[in-house]
Amino acid sequence: MTARILITGAAGIVGTLMRTRLAAPDRTLRLLDIAPLPAAADGERVELVTASVTDQAAMEEACAGVDAVIHLGGHSLERPWAEILDVNINGTHVVLEAARRAGVSRVVLASSNHAVGYYERADGEAGDYLFPKPDTYYGVSKVALEALGSLYASRYGMDVIAVRIGSCFEKPRDARMLSTWLSPDDGARLFEACLSAPSPGFRVVWGVSDNARRWFSLSEAEALGYESADDSEVFAAEVLAGGEPDPGSPAMAYLGGAWCTPEFDTAV
Ligand code: 15L
């Protein structure tokens, strides 16, 4: 059991979903965000830190004494390049460097399907370690995050696992998410596997539930010990009340869905 874990971006959607699910009696979660975090509940073993992932000194302090870092911090949607560069790319470097300096040997990084969003669905199930094909600046930042993780694993012998998360929400929100959904409970199972797998070195795994309509491989995640227990199909009738989706629509044709359409072009 990993005793003390730093979670960056803990006030975000995934961070909030993981806060209760990664809690354990013999574990302390150090939750970090620039946004306000709900106060500790009675008996909840958490430490709350207000800091930016771009602040090297604050991140080193936050890494002191932890056994592992789960780095979820950063913009979770497309933004102008300068913001992506600062928060997502530089922020990931700051976090990895802080972990290294603090002697934290295991870091789990939140990557995304958008690192490979421009692959077409017609190419079949998306395998592990797909070569990058980002669909946005955000996707580029996740490619950079994976590259930085690889560098820190190779150069400093750290264990770094990048999770290409599909869509981690309470429930799938649209037809595409029936394929890309990572249930919150499966997300916690996957993070636990990433925290406990013996000497994984550098890995890139898909973060997805075993959905009947799944687009992404489970192989590398399962090799770490992950076992999905959920399937989005239980929500299919509700999600598809308006009918089955057009497989040729951009939302269904690319792994990254609508992120591959002109609406997501924020080039400035
Ligand atoms: C992501 O990486 C985003 O952070 C999230 O907001 C979702 O849009 C998700 O991907 C997705 O592709 O569904």
Please, what are the domains in the chain? 4-264 (3.40.50.720)
Q: Which residues contact 267 (CB under 8 A, 6 or more apart)?
A: 81
**Whole-angstrom distance, CA of residue 31 vs CA of residue 10:** 5
- For 82, 120, 166, 244, 254, the CA distances from 240, given in Å and listed in that order, are 38, 22, 19, 6, 19
pLDDT of residue 266: 75
pLDDT of residue 99: 98
Report the residue among 146, 167, 206, 211 best suited for mutation to probe ligand 1: largest number of ligand atoms under 8 A from its CB.
167
Verify whether residue 226 is a known catalytic residue. Answer: no
Let me know how long the chain is.
268
Q: What does the pLDDT look like over 66-111, one tens digit per residue?
A: 999 999 999 999 999 999 999 999 999 999 999 999 999 999 999 9
Please say whether the beta carbons of 49 and 32 come within 8 A: yes
This model's pTM is above 0.90 = yes
The rounded Å distance from CA 97 to ligand 1 centre is: 26
Does the Cβ of 113 fall within 6 Å of ligand 1?
A: yes
Q: Give the position, in ligand 1's atom list, of the atom nearest the Cα of 165.
A: 2
Q: Which of 118, 119, 137, 138 is catalytic?
A: 138
Which segments of 157-235 does DSSP mark as H helices, in order? Answer: 177-180, 184-196, 219-223
Report ipTM for this prediction: 0.98
Please say whether the beta carbons of 105 and 159 come within 8 A: yes
Among residues 250, 260, 198, which one has the least CA distance to residue 224? 198
* Of the listed ranges 67-81, 104-118, 197-211, 252-266, the one predicted with least confidence: 252-266
Does the Cβ of 136 fall within 6 Å of ligand 1?
A: no
Work out the average pLDDT over 127-141.
Answer: 98
Sheet holding 28-33, edge to edge: 46-50, 28-33, 4-8, 68-71, 106-112, 159-165, 202-207
The rounded Å distance from CA 169 to ligand 1 centre is: 9
Q: Whose CA is nearest to atom 4 of ligand 1?
A: 76
Q: Give the position, in ligand 1's atom list, of the atom nearest the Cα of 173.
A: 13
The rounded Å distance from CA 205 to ligand 1 centre is: 16
Please say whether the beta carbons of 172 and 232 come within 8 A: yes
Structure tokens belonging to residue 200: 């994984």
Does the Cβ of 150 fall within 6 Å of ligand 1?
A: no
Q: Whose CA is nearest to atom 9 of ligand 1?
A: 167
Q: What does the pLDDT look like over 166-181, one tens digit per residue?
A: 999 999 999 999 999 9
